[in-house]
């Protein structure tokens, strides 16, 4: 029988900060912070995908094909429905273990670390005049438009509450967001993200106040109170390409920056052609926040489109990398800065490391492997990339961790070794360092356990086997976490445990936010299913796994007591 967890409201550590919308920042002393708004609670039953999964319903044969923007027709034509399916057990994988290894009598003996990852929520200001709606509203690019744009803060709030519930059953040591908090590098998008984690009031409306369905707490524009992450759980942050590039694909130029805070809808060419970013062939469109379904307006060819004027908002301003990092210093959850500090923010260096537990010899290396804004002109800026400064910093951190006898995890937005160089999600072919040289260097560190990433919106596990069969401890794992935006809108829980033979296991499990029926997050799930059916893009199928890792003799000895009251 599937085990369920009942979440009681009194058990959550709700935070007291509230959202204040102003270009000058967020003041705890402001009188508006004292307003107590309604929360959107999640379902009482919280289960992981090991116990049940979400399955999109098949469309009836002959169902009418509709455009993604025809949201009012979803239910009529059977789009967006789903049901629960059976759970998925963890697959034990020994890919990087010695060829003769047998786990027949091996058991998990001690918990070392428990953490969660979220990624690619793409918090979206749907009323911004500078989104890329034109490229997706009739099909094409799901990340440019889907009706999920209306509810991104609500999904994040539900995910945070689900983490809180899981934490009560199995305490979580830390969490990390792997990037693409923002959809379009906007200040208000980032503030909504941080404020959901902080448990503030969230007003997901920009420009002038809209209320498509009169009354409170009944539509996507209504202000509400986020639950906030349990104060006992520190959380950290990595940077993604959408966090500092326009729509994740190009450095914002002066025209983009002016348009973001202006009242005219963005004009753009085909961004996938050499000079499309500098063309003005198409209006990118806007979502009308006065309408129940966020109707698309002002999208189309310049010659045949008469776009409306949009209420401007200074909080839509584009953030530089340093400005983006600095916002994490304005928080009420722990740690202040969430890994970033003033000095690194001043130079836009988004790399750091931390040690999550005093009694565990393990460090997490948070690496910015996105492209730089000053990279040579190319196609889209969605590749993984390292310049010499970041590569040298990474090597120094790995050398230090190895010398100190610490297990190591690398956390970055973009995965490695999953596509040819130059592919849209592959390595930047113009980077000073090659992907092959990076992987070869990583294979020299026996204490490197894991690379965790987002970016592709997929759930995958990649084994990087040791290049030397005599030293299997030089192998490491890579685990990707799916997007909180696209179906099935999941995050991951990781447990690292010591085994009876002093190997370690990385047990990784996908989790669906426990949305309450009829809630905003439930509506978002329905729209995510509909988008999946209409766009027909690859689904992030849940993948749960127990990944074994061989340790060096030195580390085997070091972790023998870890997980007990005394850890050497």
pLDDT tens by residue, 96-128: 999 999 989 999 999 999 999 999 999 999 999
- The one-character DSSP state at 280 is -
Mean local confidence (pLDDT), 234-247:
97
Q: State yes or no: pLDDT of 304 exceeds 50.
A: yes
For β-strands 267-268 and 476-480, DSSP reports them as: unpaired
Q: What are phi and psi of 364, to 5 degrees?
A: -110, 125
User: pTM higher than 0.85, yes or no?
Assistant: yes
Roughly what angle, to the nearest 10 degrees, separates helices 152-169 and 520-535? 110
pLDDT at 562: 83
User: In this predicted model, what pLDDT tens digit does every residue of 205-230 receive, in sequence order?
Assistant: 999 999 999 999 999 999 999 999 99
Q: What's the confidence (pLDDT) of residue 511?
A: 98
Give CA separation, 177 vs 115, 117, 340, in Å: 11, 6, 13
DSSP state of 495: E
Instruction: Give the tens place of pLDDT for each residue, 516-534.
Output: 999 999 999 999 999 999 9
What is the pLDDT averaged over residues 311-315?
A: 98
Instruction: Name which residue leads in pLDDT, 424 or 475.
Output: 475
The C-alpha atoms of residue 187 and residue 558 are separated, in whole angstroms, by 45
pLDDT tens, position by position, 382-434: 999 999 999 999 999 999 999 999 999 999 999 999 998 888 889 999 999 99
pLDDT of residue 567: 53
Cβ-Cβ contacts under 8 Å for 1 (sequence gap 6 or more): none
Higher-confidence position of 359 and 26: 359
Tokens of 518: 């009829």
**Closest C-alpha among 442, 439, 458, 557 to residue 501:** 557
pLDDT of 24 reads 32
| pLDDT tens track for 164-188 | 999 999 999 999 999 999 999 999 9
Measure the CA–CA gap between 491 and 542, rounded to whole angstroms.
10
Instruction: State the alpha helices, DSSP H only, in 119-203.
Output: 152-169, 187-198
Label residue 19 exposed, middle or buried (CB < 10 Å: 0-12, 13-18, 19+): buried
Which residue ranges make up each domain of the chain?
A: 5-21+31-558
Q: Give the per-residue pLDDT at 564.
A: 63
Reading the block at residue 455, the tokens are: 């970016």
State how far the Cα of 424 lies from the Cα of 372, in Å rounded to an integer.
Answer: 16
CB neighbour burial string for 127-151, b if at least 16 within 10 angstroms, e if fewer: bbbbbbbbbbbeeebbbbbbbbbbb
Average pLDDT of the residues in 426-443? 94
Tell which CATH classification among 3.30.450.20, 1.20.1250.20, 3.90.550.10, 3.60.21.10 matches the domain 5-21+31-558.
3.60.21.10
Express as a percent the part of the chain with pLDDT over 90: 85
77 confidence band (pLDDT: 50, 70, 90): very high
pLDDT tens-digit map of 11-67:
322 222 222 223 333 344 444 445 679 999 999 999 999 999 999 999 988 789 999
Residue 62 has a pLDDT of 79
């Amino acid at each position: 029988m599937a085990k369920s967890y009942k979440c009681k409201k009194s058990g959550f550590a709700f935070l007291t900060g509230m959202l204040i919308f102003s270009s000058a920042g967020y003041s705890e002393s402001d009188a508006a912070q004292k307003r107590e708004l309604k929360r959107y609670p999640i379902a009482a039953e919280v289960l992981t995908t090991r116990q049940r999964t979400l399955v999109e319903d098949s469309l009836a044969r002959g169902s009418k094909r509709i455009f993604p923007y025809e949201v009012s027709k979803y239910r009529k034509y059977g789009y967006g429905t789903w049901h629960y399916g059976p759970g998925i057990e963890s697959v034990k994988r020994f890919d990087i273990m010695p060829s003769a290894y047998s786990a027949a009598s091996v058991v998990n003996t001690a918990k070392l670390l428990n953490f969660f990852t979220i990624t690619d929520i793409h918090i979206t200001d749907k009323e911004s005049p500078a989104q890329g709606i034109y490229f997706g509203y009739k099909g094409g690019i799901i990340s440019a438009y889907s009706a999920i744009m209306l509810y991104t803060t609500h999904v994040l709030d539900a995910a945070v509450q689900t983490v809180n519930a899981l934490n009560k059953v199995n305490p979580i040591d830390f969490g990390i967001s792997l990037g693409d908090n923002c959809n379009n590098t906007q200040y208000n998008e980032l503030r909504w993200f941080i404020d959901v984690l902080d448990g503030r009031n969230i007003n997901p409306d920009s420009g002038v106040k809209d209320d498509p369905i009169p009354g409170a707490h009944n539509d996507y524009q209504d202000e509400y109170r986020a639950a906030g992450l349990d104060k006992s759980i520190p959380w950290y942050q990595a940077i993604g390409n959408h966090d500092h590039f326009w729509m994740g694909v190009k450095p914002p130029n002066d025209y983009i920056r002016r348009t973001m805070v202006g009242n005219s809808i963005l004009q753009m060419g085909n961004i996938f052609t050499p000079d499309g970013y500098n063309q003005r062939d198409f209006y990118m469109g806007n979502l009308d926040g006065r309408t129940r379904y966020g109707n698309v307006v002002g999208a189309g060819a310049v010659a045949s489109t008469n776009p409306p004027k949009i209420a401007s908002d200074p909080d839509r301003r584009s953030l530089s990398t340093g400005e983006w990092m600095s916002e994490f210093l304005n928080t009420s959850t722990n740690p202040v800065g969430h890994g970033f500090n003033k000095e690194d923010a001043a130079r836009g260096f988004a790399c750091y490391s931390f040690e999550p537990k005093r009694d565990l010899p393990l460090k997490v290396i948070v690496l910015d492997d996105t492209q730089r804004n000053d990279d040579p002109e190319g196609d889209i800026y969605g590749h993984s990339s390292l310049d010499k400064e970041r590569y040298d910093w990474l090597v120094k951190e790995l050398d230090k961790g190895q010398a100190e006898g610490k297990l190591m995890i690398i956390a970055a937005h973009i995965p490695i070794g999953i596509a040819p160089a130059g592919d849209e999600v592959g390595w930047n072919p113009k980077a000073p360092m090659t992907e092959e040289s990076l992987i070869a260097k990583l294979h020299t560190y026996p204490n490197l356990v894991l690379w965790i990433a987002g970016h592709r919106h997929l759930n995958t596990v990649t084994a990087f086997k040791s290049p030397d069969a005599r030293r299997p401890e030089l192998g490491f794992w890579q685990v990707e976490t799916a997007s909180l935006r696209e179906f099935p809108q999941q995050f991951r829980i990781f447990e690292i445990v010591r085994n009876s033979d002093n190997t370690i296991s990385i047990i990784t499990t996908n989790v669906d936010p426990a949305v309450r029926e009829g809630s905003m997050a439930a509506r978002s799930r329905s729209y995510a299913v509909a988008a999946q059916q209409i766009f027909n893009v690859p689904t992030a199928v849940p993948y749960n796994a127990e990944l074994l890792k061989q340790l060096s003799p030195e580390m085997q000895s070091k972790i023998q007591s870890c997980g007990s009251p005394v850890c050497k």
